[in-house]
Structure 1
Amino acid sequence: MILIHTKREKQINREPCISIEKRNFIAGLWHGAFLALGVSLTQPTTVISAFVADLTGSTIWVGGLSTVLTVAGALPQIFIARWIEPRPRKMPFLLLAIYLRVISWGALAFLVFTIGDQHPLTLAWILVGMLVVFYAGGGLGNIPYTDIVGKIIPQNRRGAFFGGMGAIAGPLSVGAALFARRILADVSYPNNYALLFLFAAIGLTIASLGFWAIREPSGDTSDVHMLPWKDYWKHLQSTSRRLKVLIG
């Protein structure tokens, strides 16, 4: 009798855990799907490059912007990782990163609508500034995202999680690309680009609801401490040397 009672207690205690795991799994898929939708509306190699070319008429601007965005996406991670790593919960930092990206696209849509095609060079610099914020937000978000997914998705379900995300995101990305093509063709310039930035901001906002639904467990960071800058730079140099050996 005692054994049966114990088994029932274990089953009851296990059910909430299963429910939370399922909730987190679905919420993660939700985020991945709408993130793919929002990002596909403003692909840097197609939509952004075409907009920059229309604004400046310069291939140098297009190539230079690609370099700037690569740096903007990578550089924040070097400085932010030291500060985020010791935190037991990473969700606030991920949400901050997401809404930085939402604000950048929303502000860009508003400014394109407002300025129009009267001051193309001014708009080009505004575009660069907002894109730097967007990609810096992406760089900031990569660090907590990896940690959160590692905590909420069991190891034996990560293949299903990322496979499912790809299966859902793929068709949505294709649909978003076709929709973007139609907007660019049917709406007058530059309002067509403004609409794409606005829809991208809406897509990212909807995607963020997935992370509001996630229940992030507190991580064990008792043995993790923020390194002094001097030690942190030494650690980075040591890591870069190891990577150089692996790549070389």
Structure 2
Amino acid sequence: MRITNYRAFMIHALFLSLTMSFIDVNTVAPAMLTESGATTFHLGLLTAIMVGFASFMQLLFATFIMGLRHKKPALLGGIYLRVAALASLGIFLRNLGEPAAWKIWLILLLIAVFSFSGAWANIAYTDILGGTIEKPLRKKLLTQKQLISSIGLIISSVVVKLVLSYLSYPDSYSLLFLMASLLLLFATSGFWMLKEGEHPVKNNLSLSKRLGMFAQAIRGDRNIRLYLLLVNTSGVILSALPFLVVMANKRYGLDGGRTGTFLLFQLSGSLLATIFVNLFSKGQRYRPLLYFFIVLGAFTPLAALLLLAVPSFYPLAFLLGGASAALLHILTVGILLEISTDENRPIYIGIGGAGALMNIVYPLFAGLLLPYLGFPLVFILSSCYMLIGLYAAKHLDCGTFA
């Protein structure tokens, strides 16, 4: 079962990576919405939906999924709903016509369905991974999965750049989303191989009691409180990255080819960071990587400000941003698996997702304040705020954090 599931996660990682470039939250999605006539508030709401609200919904979803004897049907159901949302978005964009306010809101609604169904599937995914992959293999799986994902993302980013360079809006984005829906459908082939044991049924617990379990876990475990501090400070780098595209569009103007270049550099940074983790990370020691991630993430918005004056160098900011995002993904998933047990893992996943409130608040406030404060001040304040995560990195207490 262990080898079969290992392969299943790898197959899914490959096809998912080919999918996610086509609707990348940091480059493609904000560029598409900008060309649809969106304001900075709409762009902030887009980021809040895809990064913050999607994670927050995991709290509610975890209360249902934790009571299921088998998690695989929930996993597949969530993915199929994502496929439907992407296909609908692609068809809608192909018949978009002239941009209008109601069309922007419909695009945001479809993206919300795509993101929330992904949050549902992620609860089942992480619980199955934690329950069927032995502890010594987890970090190896996460880093190898990230390596495969990075390679697949770079390949698909080349396709994105070609499509955006040679097709005009909205046909270019319509084609990307239709291709993404097809590839995501193929990704489910890996999960049909999954074999999972039966979980104890907890349907006798009411929703209020299950929510009480979340509060009890937060009160009783200092590690989960420090984890929440980490994702609410340094973790907002995910919410900050889309505004790098917005700043470039304000400075240089909209250009599909440039968006593709940003995506390619971002994914190259993700690949380099993953290779770095594989080569230099010793055993299960997460703390040095945490320090490195936080400093790199905090420096990224400042680098974007410095590089903005030289258009040919500006994509390097996305290289740093991609590396930061990859490290955050590896670290947050790995840490959450380490500080949880088979019994409380769905609870901790829900807490980790719903507790990242700043990934909702930050993009909304940034979208509202940018027209008044400007990018330099917002980005400098953001970088200083991210450094608060160093406290959490120093005090997280687990045997594998040394």
- Normalised TM-score (structure 2): 0.53
Aligned residues: CA RMSD: 2.1
- 1:205 maps to which residue? 185
Q: CA deviation at 1:57?
A: 4.5
**What is the CA deviation profile of residues 90-139 of structure 1, one whole-angstrom value per residue up to 9, with x for unaligned ones?**
00000111111111000110111123x32443331221011100110111
**Could you tell which deviates more after superposition, 28-37 or 224-233?**
224-233
Q: CA deviation at 1:71?
A: 4.0
Write the distance in 1 (CA, Å) between the matches of 2:102 and 2:162. 27
**What is the CA deviation profile of residues 5-31 of structure 1, one whole-angstrom value per residue up to 9, with x for unaligned ones?**
xxxxxxxxxxxxxxx332221121000
When Rg is computed on C-alpha atoms for both structures, the one with the higher figure is 1
| 1:91 partnered with 2:72 | yes
Instruction: Please tell me the residue identity of whatever aligns with 1:114.
Output: N
Question: SS of the counterpart of 1:100?
Answer: helix
| 1:159 partnered with 2:156 | no
Instruction: Select the residue among 39, 58, 62 that pairs with 2:43.
Output: 62
Instruction: Please tell me the residue identity of whatever aligns with 2:181.
Output: A
**What is the CA deviation profile of residues 197-232 of structure 1, one whole-angstrom value per residue up to 9, with x for unaligned ones?**
01111121111110012222223x16x454223323
- 1:17 maps to which residue? none
- 1:9 maps to which residue? none
Write the distance in 2 (CA, Å) between the matches of 1:203 and 1:36. 9
Gaps of 5+ in 2: 230-391, 393-402
- 1:232 maps to which residue? 210
- Alpha-carbon distance change, 238 to 21 in structure 1, aligned in 2, over 3 angstroms: closer
**What is the CA deviation profile of residues 12-57 of structure 1, one whole-angstrom value per residue up to 9, with x for unaligned ones?**
xxxxxxxx33222112100011111101221111101001111115
- 2:396 maps to which residue? none
- 1:111 maps to which residue? 92
Instruction: Select the residue among 158, 168, 182 that pairs with 2:148.
Output: 168
- Alpha-carbon distance change, 124 to 229 in structure 1, aligned in 2, over 3 angstroms: same
Q: Which fold has the larger relative contact order, with Cα–Cα distance below 8 Å and residues 6 or more apart in sequence? A: 1
**What is the CA deviation profile of residues 58-82 of structure 1, one whole-angstrom value per residue up to 9, with x for unaligned ones?**
2221122212333430232222212
- Alpha-carbon distance change, 217 to 235 in structure 1, aligned in 2, over 3 angstroms: closer
Instruction: Please tell me the residue identity of whatever aligns with 1:104.
Output: A
**What is the CA deviation profile of residues 125-180 of structure 1, one whole-angstrom value per residue up to 9, with x for unaligned ones?**
22101110011011111211111112332333223322221221111111111211
Write the distance in 1 (CA, Å) between the matches of 2:89 and 2:131. 35
| Alignment: residue pair count | 226
Contact 2:4 2:193 in 1 (8 A): yes
Write the distance in 1 (CA, Å) between the matches of 2:204 and 2:54. 23
| Runs of 4+ residues over 4 Å off in structure 1 | 240-245
Instruction: Select the residue among 115, 137, 144 that pairs with 1:135.
Output: 115
Write the distance in 2 (CA, Å) between the matches of 1:174 and 1:70. 21
Instruction: Please tell me the residue identity of whatever aligns with 2:57.
Output: P
User: What percentage of residue pairs aligned between the two structures are identical?
Assistant: 26
- 2:126 maps to which residue? 146
